[in-house]
Chains A and B, each alone.
Chain A
């Protein structure tokens, strides 16, 4: 952090300034002039929070994707299918047991096992053959998509929100003033806040695991120089399997979460895959902080775009990607080299 400020004083200043303005926009009571300029504060705030929570979901999907890529150079274009599979599975388990947490856990474990199978049965035999891996995962995603369509049909599903997470929560920001001077406070769905907190906790845990544990050290070493790591006698294959399982499991977990506050239907796999592609392109492949930054940017761009320029919302995300590619083709958070 301080390293970044020392290296990029101007950029740091701009970022600090932007964050300060954002905080002021969130906490201040908007004057009628500002309402005329930005629209209603309630709309702005809900776009902001929806963007951040959507970013949390994208982070969960994209961090698994980027972890698998960073370590193994495996491009798993079936990652969206794993998400959808996890979501449907979570729905079924949730209906069966009535417990959201059990659904979350089962989805994580089952999709992680699918990931292990994919790694052992397919990817191990085509290490270093990027194109072939890509094609194989495209084939897999077609098969998965059709199998899921077969089993669940074309209907839309929603995972039931557990009781202790449903309902709104009041946030300490005023959205407007009543005529008698009393402030109307912002209310927001609790489940989205919980997801945001969960994603942050998971992100911090992942960072700690990667940077403070022995396994994390091995994984990072593998990302940097796989051959050297295997030359030191580490059982690289075991680490690969573990990381693949964890990344796939995250996709399954994210599927249940996505199914809770969005919905599940055929085609969602492609949409999530594309979003996570853009997230990791913007953030930088193989970098967890990159996935976080990218997810936040893409989530905010999508939500603000759909509120303030509905026709061109998708183009906004795309323009951001192009701009990042033009300036830093390796992504915002990736190390140069």
Chain B
């Protein structure tokens, strides 16, 4: 299961100054960061919220999957369910239009408890599935995810069944209405950036390195005295924490939650997002999520624009996914890296040709 090779850059390094840190990020990083920060000045609120903020929320959930799959070699499909569970808990514990179920806790109590309980749920699912490997993990997590879906669908006393909850409003605090486009955009941006940073940090911390060791050779790690199972469960906990935070943002974004939020479709979509973006780097899921959201939003127009049936966007997503899986196991990031490699190599070739005065390519 060659999802990602250990990145050579990811070795632990000595302490560095802030200047080095800024320089090492590269131009692309700063361009993207600047663009995201200044986005509200140039983009309409539709682009801000419907596209970028939504992509960042989905990207966070896919990021938690990427952390497990890329660094732990564990392909877990419960991450969307963890997010959905956190969303449900926010609706149940906090305020919603279904006042006979909601407990009306203040947001600063409801949201952390939701994140905590959902993380616990993710950890338990992990503890259940870490005894298995590879395909078995996929199947068991898929089974857990679908069990949760059917539970929310059929249970009316806690989850309000088919209709779910609506009227869940983002909180107002520090004098800011966080449900407004601009604050909400910056809230998701901050959360996504934090999640990204933490994943990058953890992947280079001793825990992350040990996790990558258990991915590459669990027997050797066990022989070295690492508790492989504990590392994997802890990886689930960490990933579920990110997914749960994203779930809270998701329910505030949608202002409603229903069984469909964490149904089998979205659960698989999350895997698609992570794989299409690329499982080898934390930025991959965000790229995948952006592509996915753009496709979902504009596929209808594009398909009808070229004279096809607009309802076939699912077919488009499926075909695109298949092509990427077949030809680039590393997703869009892999394609990008390969293109860059080729460009660099052709550049080198050109230079040597010039140096030697021509010759066959």
**Residue numbers in B under 8 Å from A313 (CB-CB):** 154
Give every chain A residue within 8 A of B140 (Cβ-Cβ): 281, 321, 325
Docked complex Cα distance between A132 and B140 (Å): 18
| A134 touching B138, Cβ below 8 Å | yes
Complex interface: chain B residues within 8 A of A145 (CB): 314, 318
Mark the stretch among B46-54, B106-114, B143-151, B197-205 that contacts chain A: B143-151
Interface contact B143-A321, CB-CB below 8 Å: yes
Q: In whole angstroms, what is the CA distance A69 to B139 when docked? A: 12
Chain B residues proximal to chain A, CB less than 8 Å: 1-3, 75, 128, 131-132, 134-136, 138-140, 142-144, 146-147, 150-151, 154-157, 264, 268, 271-272, 275, 309, 312, 314-315, 317-319, 321-322, 325-326, 329
Which residues of A lie under 8 Å from residue B264 when comparing CB positions?
Answer: 270, 274
Which single residue of chain A is at the shortest CB-CB distance from B2? A129
Binds B, one of A31-39, A94-102, A135-143: A135-143
A150 partner residues in chain B, CB cutoff 8 A: 309, 312, 315
In the complex, the answer to whether A325 meets B128 with C-beta atoms within 8 Å is yes
A232 interface residue (CB < 8 Å to B): no
19 new A-B contacts at CB < 8 Å, known A146-B312, A146-B314, A315-B147? A132-B325, A134-B75, A135-B275, A135-B321, A136-B322, A136-B326, A138-B268, A139-B318, A140-B322, A143-B319, A150-B309, A150-B312, A270-B264, A274-B143, A277-B139, A281-B139, A314-B154, A321-B140, A321-B143
Going nearest first, the 3 A-B pairs with the smallest beta carbon separation are A142-B318, A139-B322, A314-B150
Distance between A25 CB and nearest chain B CB, rounded to angstroms: 27
Tell me which residues across on chain B come within 8 A of A278, comparing CB atoms: 143
Instruction: Kindly list chain B residues whose C-beta atoms are within 8 Å of the C-beta of A312.
Output: 151, 154-155
Whole-angstrom CA separation of A108 from B101 in the bound complex? 49
Tell which of B136, B271, B318 touches A146, judged by Cβ atoms closer than 8 Å: B318
Across-interface contacts of B321 in A (CB, < 8 A): 135, 138-139, 142
Which of chain A's residues have a CB closer than 8 A to the CB of B312?
Answer: 146, 150
C-alpha gap A317/B314 in the complex (Å): 30
Contacts of A270 in B (CB 8 A): 146, 264
| Beta-carbon contact of B154 and A138 below 8 Å | no
- Please name all residues of chain B whose beta carbon is closer than 8 Å to the beta carbon of A130 when the two chains form the complex: 1, 134-135
Q: Is the CB of B142 within 8 A of A277?
A: yes
Type the 1/0 row for A114-152, where 1 means its CB is closer than 8 Å to any CB of B.
000000000000000111101110111011011101100
Which B residues are in CB contact (< 8 Å) with A250?
Answer: none
Against B, the Cβ 8 Å flags (1 = close, 0 = not) of A196-215 are 00000000000000000000
Contact partners of A234 in chain B: CB under 8 A: none
Q: Is A318 an interface residue (CB 8 A)?
A: yes
Complex formed: what's the CA distance from A311 to B154 in Å? 6
Chain A residue contacts of B326, Cβ below 8 A: 136
A136–B325 touching, CB < 8 Å: yes
Beta-carbon contact of B317 and A142 below 8 Å:
yes
Please indicate the chain A residues that have their CB under 8 angstroms from the CB of B142 in the complex.
274, 277
Find out whether the CB atom of B1 lies under 8 angstroms from the CB atom of A131.
yes
Chain A: residues with Cβ within 8 Å of the partner, total of 40
- Contact in complex: A325, B1 (CB < 8 Å): no
Interface contact A311-B156, CB-CB below 8 Å: yes
Q: A177 to B314: give the CA distance in the assembly, Å.
A: 56
Complex contact B154–A310 (CB within 8 A): yes
A322 contacts the other chain (Cβ, under 8 Å)?
yes
Encode A287-306 as 1/0 by CB contact (under 8 A) with B: 00000000000000000000
Is A285's CB under 8 angstroms from B136's CB?
Answer: yes
Q: Please indicate the chain B residues that have their CB under 8 angstroms from the CB of A317 in the complex.
A: 147
Q: Is A216 at the interface (CB under 8 A from chain B)? A: no
Q: Which A residues are in CB contact (< 8 Å) with B322? A: 136, 139-140, 143
With a cutoff of 8 Å between Cβ atoms, the chain A residues found around residue B132 in the complex are 325, 329
| In the bound complex, CA of A69 to CA of B138 (Å) | 14
- CB pair B325 A143 closer than 8 Å: no
A274 with B146, Cβ < 8 A, contacts A138-B272, A142-B317, A325-B128 known: yes
A75 CB within 8 Å of chain B:
yes
17 interchain pairs, CB-CB under 8 A: A75-B138, A129-B2, A130-B1, A130-B135, A132-B325, A134-B138, A135-B325, A136-B326, A142-B317, A142-B318, A146-B312, A146-B318, A280-B139, A310-B154, A314-B147, A325-B132, A325-B140
Chain A: which residue is nearest B271 at the CB level? A138
Query: Provided the pairs A136-B326, A143-B318, A311-B154 are in contact, do residues A329 and B275 lie with their beta carbons within 8 angstroms?
Result: no
- A213 to B: closest C-beta gap in Å: 29
Please give, as numbers and ranges, the residues of chain B lying within 8 Å of A277 by CB-CB distance: 139, 142-143
State the CA gap A170–B135 with chains docked (Å).
45
Known: A138-B271, A138-B272, A325-B140. A315 touches B151 (CB 8 A): yes
Q: Are B155 and A311 in contact (CB under 8 A)?
A: yes
What is the bound-complex CA distance between A321 and B333, given in angstroms? 37
* B156 near A281: Cβ-Cβ < 8 Å: no
Determine if A146 and B315 form an interchain contact, defined as CB atoms under 8 angstroms apart.
yes
The interface residues of chain B lying within 8 Å CB-to-CB of A135 are 271, 275, 321, 325
Tell me the bound Cα distance from A149 to B314 in angstroms: 10
Give 1 or 0 for each of A54-88: 1 = CB within 8 Å of chain B CB.
Answer: 00000000000000010001010000000000000
- What CA separation (Å) do A140 and B326 show in the bound complex? 11
**Which positions 260-292 of chain A face chain B at CB distance < 8 Å?**
270, 274, 277-278, 280-281, 285
Q: How far is the CA of A139 from the CA of B264 in the complex (A)?
A: 14
Q: Which of A144-202 contact B (CB under 8 A)?
A: 145-147, 149-150
Contacts of B144 in A (CB 8 A): 318
Residue of B nearest to A326 (CB): B128
Q: Which residues of B contact A274 (CB under 8 A)?
A: 142-143, 146, 264
Identify which of A73, A75, A140, A143 gathers the most chain B CB atoms within 10 Å of its CB.
Answer: A143
Residues of chain A within 8 A (CB-CB) of B151 are 312, 314-315
B136, B150, B272, B315: which contacts A143 (Cβ < 8 A)?
B315
